Amino acid sequence: MSSDSPIGVFDSGVGGLSVLAALQAELPGERFIYFSDAAHAPYGERGDAFVIERTLGIARQLVEEHGIKALVVACNTATAAGIGLLRSVYPELPIVGVEPALKPAAAATRTGHVGVLATRGTLASGKFKALHDSLKSDSVRFSLVPCDGLAGAIERLDEAAIQSLAAQYVGALGRFGHQPDDIDTLVLGCTHYPFIAADLKRLAGAQVRLIETGQPVAQQTRRLLAAKGQLAGDDPTGSLQLLSSGDAASLDAAAARWLHAQAVGIALN
């Protein structure tokens, strides 16, 4: 494995592009391979066994066919279900996952009330429950809303569904503001949701702080690669290859829209 080897990034669909954007900003000289498992998206509404099977299969493909030097699991549901097993299968491979940013939200809130939007699969996972239980206290409480269908609507670029579902789920959280017990901090617990941050901000109010995980994931990836002496350097000469188990053209369009980059999409069987 050399410093020129690529970094693999995968998600059930296009949501992980929000994490990829942070990675490209933090590591502009790196080569990235992004895999969208669009044929099986979204993971958040599937069972753990299915998500683990897909997670292991994609990791195997990226390791064996593309020789990746690190893997970023840019999906909250896949992280919750499968990252422990991934690390046992590939103990020498730096693996970074994502999880809803409850810790920074707990540190940021001034009213003591944090809202969390995430997929049902993430909120039901043992990993999330352990994190949530470790942070609950008399000074901080979390209101959790499972957002069925929202990641899928973002995946399809279905603006009408996005607006309707976003309004429904933000409304379900309750009152936002700076008064005691108002929600003043909102965790975007799915990598798809940063793409509609402007809509969520409009619904929740300009005073509400939105917190997501892209930048911390990128910084942790840099730290792990630096520790292994495998950083490619910061010359802005990196590259991106897009892979999809579904419609490659849709992934290309999403990347062009959200990454402001051009890449070649390759549809895989």
- What residues are annotated to the active site? 75, 190
For 5, counting Cβ atoms within 10 Å of its Cβ (0-12 exposed, 13-18 middle, 19+ buried), the class is middle
**Strand segments (E) across 200-261:** 209-211, 239-244
Contact 218, 185 (CB under 8 A): no
Contact 190, 232 (CB under 8 A): no
Cis? peptide before 42, omega within 30° of 0? yes
For 228, counting Cβ atoms within 10 Å of its Cβ (0-12 exposed, 13-18 middle, 19+ buried), the class is middle
Please name every residue paired with 114 in a beta bridge, in sequence order, or none if there are none. Answer: 142, 185
Please name every residue paired with 243 in a beta bridge, in sequence order, or none if there are none. Answer: 35, 266
**Strand segments (E) across 2-110:** 7-11, 31-36, 70-73, 95-97
Q: Quickly tell me which residue has 């909120």 as its tokens.
A: 123
Contact 140, 115 (CB under 8 A): no
In 10 A of CB 258, how many CB atoms? 16
